[in-house]
């Protein structure tokens, strides 16, 4: 874990963006297409911590981006080149554009100043979407990555952020995957090698510090 001083430097509001990954009702909500993942996101406290981080970012003047994965009803433009995509096509709940499934899930609140970026393809919010261009235009140097899943989208996001020159910060208690013991193993053996690992309370302390 970094020192409070180190984390405070990394998370200066002028150069920090908080990203929520696939925190949508069809993924982490009560009617999820992936009930085991939704249960883990809630029971682990990750979803509640993401909501706390978003609220703290709003209070502290830190930009928030919500990354949503969705598909057209006709499936045009979607990937079919991996087992994951083919399995998703058969799920009883589909992440269809314009439906409740692709709305940001409570208790996370979306503010007027937030960006909601939607993608129709791929595994990462940063690859082939508006997110990278928005981050650069916002002067982002540090990207705080939260959300699901630790199995696929979260590590993809962290790797893409690092490859693009951003500092990646991961609050370990604000991401979730399945099974429950996979997430700490991923953090310890993979994400800790490329990102700054911290906790929700420590990030909030930086977001909510008095402004000078």
pLDDT tens across the length of the chain (212 residues): 788 888 999 999 999 999 999 999 999 999 999 999 999 999 999 999 999 999 999 999 999 999 999 999 998 998 888 888 888 888 888 899 999 999 999 999 999 999 999 999 999 999 999 999 999 999 999 999 999 999 999 999 999 999 999 999 999 999 999 999 999 999 999 999 999 999 999 999 999 875 54
Angle of helix 46-60 versus helix 35-43 axis, rounded to 10 = 60
Rg (CA), the chain: 16
Compute the distance between CA of residue 62 and CA of residue 168 in angstroms, rounded to an integer.
Answer: 15
Compute the distance between CA of residue 209 and CA of residue 193 in angstroms, rounded to an integer.
Answer: 28
Give pLDDT, residue 27: 97
Query: Encoding tokens for residue 117?
Result: 């970026």
- Whether the predicted model's global pTM rises above the 0.85 cut: yes
Give pLDDT, residue 211: 53
Query: Encoding tokens for residue 73?
Result: 């009803």
Pairing assessment for the beta strands 175-176 and 142-148 based on DSSP bridges: parallel
What are the φ/ψ torsions at residue 198 (nearest 5 degrees)?
-145, -160
Using alpha carbons, select from 122, 113, 116, 93 the residue that is nearest to residue 104.
116
Q: Coil, strand, or helix at residue 73?
A: coil
């Amino acid at each position: 874990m970094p020192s409070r001083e180190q984390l405070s430097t990394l998370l200066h509001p002028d150069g920090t963006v908080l990203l929520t990954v696939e925190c949508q009702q069809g993924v982490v909500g009560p009617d999820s297409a992936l009930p085991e993942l939704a249960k883990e996101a809630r029971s682990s406290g990750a979803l509640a911590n993401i909501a706390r981080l978003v609220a703290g970012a709003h209070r502290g003047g830190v930009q928030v981006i919500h990354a949503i994965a969705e598909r057209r009803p006709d499936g045009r433009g979607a990937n079919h080149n991996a087992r994951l995509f083919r399995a998703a096509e058969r799920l009883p709940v589909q992440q269809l554009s314009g439906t409740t499934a692709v709305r940001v899930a409570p208790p996370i609140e979306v503010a007027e100043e937030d960006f909601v970026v939607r993608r129709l393809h791929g595994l990462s919010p940063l690859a082939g979407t508006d997110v990278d261009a928005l981050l650069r235009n916002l002067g982002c140097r540090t990207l705080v990555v939260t959300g699901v899943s630790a199995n696929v989208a979260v590590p993809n996001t962290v790797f893409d952020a690092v490859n693009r020159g951003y500092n990646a910060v991961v609050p370990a208690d604000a991401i979730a995957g399945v099974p429950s013991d996979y997430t700490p193993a991923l953090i310890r053996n993979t994400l800790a090698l490329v990102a700054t690992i911290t906790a929700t309370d420590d990030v909030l302390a930086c977001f909510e510090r008095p402004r000078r």
